[in-house]
Structures are given as structure tokens and as C-alpha cells.
Amino acid sequence: MESGSEDLAVQKDLTGLVKSSWSNMLGAGRFHITAIAAVGNLTFGWLFTGQYQWFLMAVCALDWFIVNLTNRVVDYEEDQINRITAAEFVHQKRLLFLGLGYGTLLASLVLLHFVNPAVTLFRIAFHGLGLVYNWPLLPGRRRLKQAYFFKNTASAAGFLITLFCYPLATLYWNRGAFIFPAGIQAATVALTAVFFFLFELSYEVIYDLRDVAGDRQAGVRTYPVVHGERITGRIIDGLLLISVMILMGGYLVRIIPWRILIMIFAPGIQYFLYKRFMRRGITSRDCIRLTWLGTAMLTIYNLWAAAGLPGAEL
């Protein structure tokens, strides 16, 4: 009996260790952000080129993993205050993660340039933005993350680079011109980019509501730190509303096709959920759930398109 109890206890300890290690690795790389960026790249790549760019999806995932990993190393102080998953784990292994991240970046810049040189400059721009965002390279040894307004816009710009510029640059490189699928024109790309930029900004500000305690102590001047929760909620509402209006307006003037217009459901769902979260206080788990939900919606969108269901035709 005692032997059986001991075996059961050992099994439970091993199971707990595996779960803890898995949770730490997911938290260290912010896989929820990496996942939504990768699936977003695949989605907009299909919309604007007519093809699924699996290679670009992998490059996008790699780039976001590297930026998120190094960001976690730098953000230890505020992450610890905000009780972010794996903060202590990352801090203990910070030298390993920095070496892994930047070593992989340098190697991939060289190797992947021979596979797809079209995205090399945009990859450099993305990681250059990440360096200034994460590390104190600005005058006064400040990070871009600490700059009011520019913190959020820099993050949204990073998504535009990886989700829009990667497939568009590849399209131009392969065909020598921007030859879009039926129903897509330059104005379609531009309006979709504005929609996505504003919608993604709303994500960033919601995350700031979660991080307000740590950001205040670290001197990061986010909207919640500067303006408080009430005004921040209005900013989020405005971003979501304007993003929806842009797609609706584009559809009415026949610039936005139906297969892009249906993305307006995402801001609506996000509005309902974040309001519900705010009533009891937004947590780290809420933000992760919102991000995985966005990933799931994009995945369903692509499965719908791949199945050739109504409204998804190119």
C-alpha cells in the first residue's frame, strides 16, 4: 500500500513538473502572440496574393518569437509586479534566452535571405524596431516602450510589417508588380491595413489595462497610467468603432470585398468580452484568452476559405 502511494505521489510530481515546464515555455515565448501573428500573416498573405504563403508564416512566427523572448527578458521588473506567467523562469535563464534569440536571428537573416531576399529589409526593420522598443537605446537611456503614444503604435507597426509587408514584398519580388487577386486593389490593401492597425491598437491598450501596476512603477507611460481606466476604455471603444466604420465605408464604395468585411465581427466580439472583463478587472489570463480567440477566429476563417464556402471566393 505504501509503495503504491509513493508511486502515485511520484507520478503526480512528474506530471506537475511537466505542466509547469510547458507553461513556462509557453509564457517565455508568448506563444499566444506568436500564434496570432503567424495565422494573421497567412490570412493576409492569402487575401493579397491568392496563395497560402506557408514559408512566410514560419518566418513571421520565428520573428515574433525572438522579439517576444527578448522582451520578456527586459520586462522582468514590471512582469513580476503584474504576475505575468514565467517572469521568474525567464529571468533565471535570461542569458540563455538572449543568446538563443539573437543567435537565431543573425543566422536566420543570412540563411533565409537566400530563400526569400524580398523580406530581408523588412525583417531588419522589424527587429530594429524591436531593439529600440525593448532596450534603452533612446536619448536618456529610455526605451521606446516608455514613450507615451509611441509604445502602442510601435507594436501595431510591427504587426503591419510582418503581416502586410512580408507577403506584399514577396508578391512584388516574384511577379515584378503588385498583381492582386480579383476584388483586391491597392486601396483595398490600404483600408484593410488601417482597419487592422486600429483594431490591433485596441489589443495593445487592453493589455496595458492589465499591466498598469508594473508599468507605473517602471515608468512606462501607457494610456491607463496617464489617463486612468475610464478614459482608456473610451480610447478602446473609439479604436474598435472606427475600425468597423472603415471596413463598412470601404464595402459601401466597393473597395472592400465581402471576404474582408466579415472581419468586423472580431471588433464586435472583442468589445463585448473586454467590457465584461473590465467590470471585475482585466487579468493576464483574460488577455491571453482574447489573443487565442483571435487566433481561433482567423483559423476558422482560413478553413472556411480553404473549403470554398460561400463568401470566401477569390
Nearest to 258 by CA among 195, 313, 187: 313
How many structural domains comprise the chain?
Answer: 1
Consecutive sets of 10 residues in the chain, 314 residues long: mean pLDDT of each?
A: 46 41 52 94 96 96 90 66 61 78 93 96 96 84 82 93 98 93 95 97 92 80 90 96 97 95 94 93 90 95 81 57
Q: Report if residue 228 sits inside a domain.
A: yes
Q: Report if residue 311 sits inside a domain.
A: no
Q: Report if residue 23 sits inside a domain.
A: no
Q: What are phi and psi of 138, to 5 degrees?
A: -85, 165
Q: Report if residue 15 sits inside a domain.
A: no
Q: Which pTM does this prediction carry?
A: 0.85
Eight-class DSSP state of 136: -
With beta carbons less than 8 A apart as the criterion, state whether 87 and 76 touch. Answer: yes
pLDDT of residue 134: 82
pLDDT of residue 199: 97
pLDDT of residue 16: 42
Q: Report if residue 16 sits inside a domain.
A: no
Q: Report if residue 236 sits inside a domain.
A: yes
Task: Give the CA dihedral 265, 268, 270, 272, nearest 10 degrees.
Answer: -140
- Cα separation, 278 vs 206, in Å, equals 9
Q: Report if residue 7 sits inside a domain.
A: no
Q: What is the CA radius of gyration of the chain?
A: 21
Q: Report if residue 22 sits inside a domain.
A: no
Residue 221 belongs to domain with CATH number? 1.10.600
List the domain range (segments joined by +) for residue 119. Answer: 28-306
User: What are the residues facing 138 on neighbouring strands?
Assistant: 142
pLDDT of residue 8: 43
| Beta carbons within 10 angstroms of residue 306's beta carbon | 11
